[in-house]
Amino acid sequence: MMAAMLRIRIEADHLPGLTCPSPDGTDPPYRNIHVAVQRRDRPAELLAPQRGDAPSATWTLECTTAASPAGTDIRGPYVQGRPGGRFVYLSWGTVDDAGNFAMFRRAKLMLDAVPAEVLDGAVAGGLLVGRLGLTDARGGPLCARVVPPAITWTAERAPRP
């Protein structure tokens, strides 16, 4: 397989709201929370921050793919990790009155958990779509490692420019 262009679209719903308790429950709650995709090697550079009380959030990432010994490798400015362990970070943070984002938690969308036949179809069609809810079982922001069934990956045909 030669290098190919691929878009990854992350479609999220069920966002947790604008406040959430601190992890141990003793510190003040986090307020005015937002979520965004974090750029590789630049944690302060975020793609399209969305309010925690939005009805939904969508991000589209431009990527490339290439064959590797582990299968299809995905690369791009918002793809993290090493070959065979690639992922996308959704960063949760508070936004202050000046618009500054302070991260407090992340969700790691594991690209190595995309079924091979779905990834092959996405490479052929140009679009890989991940759909997930962003509220965890306790009502807070989804964090930690995210794999199916918490996220559903599908291959779709990318719209032509």
Counts for the chain of helices (H) and strands (E), in that order: 1, 12
Q: Quick one: pLDDT at residue 2? A: 62
Which residue stretches of the chain have pLDDT < 70? 1-2, 160-161
Strand 101-110 relative to strand 144-146, pairing: parallel
Q: Quick one: pLDDT at residue 161? A: 60
pTM: 0.93
Q: Quick one: pLDDT at residue 118? A: 97
Q: Quick one: pLDDT at residue 160? A: 67
Q: Letter for the amino acid at 92?
A: W
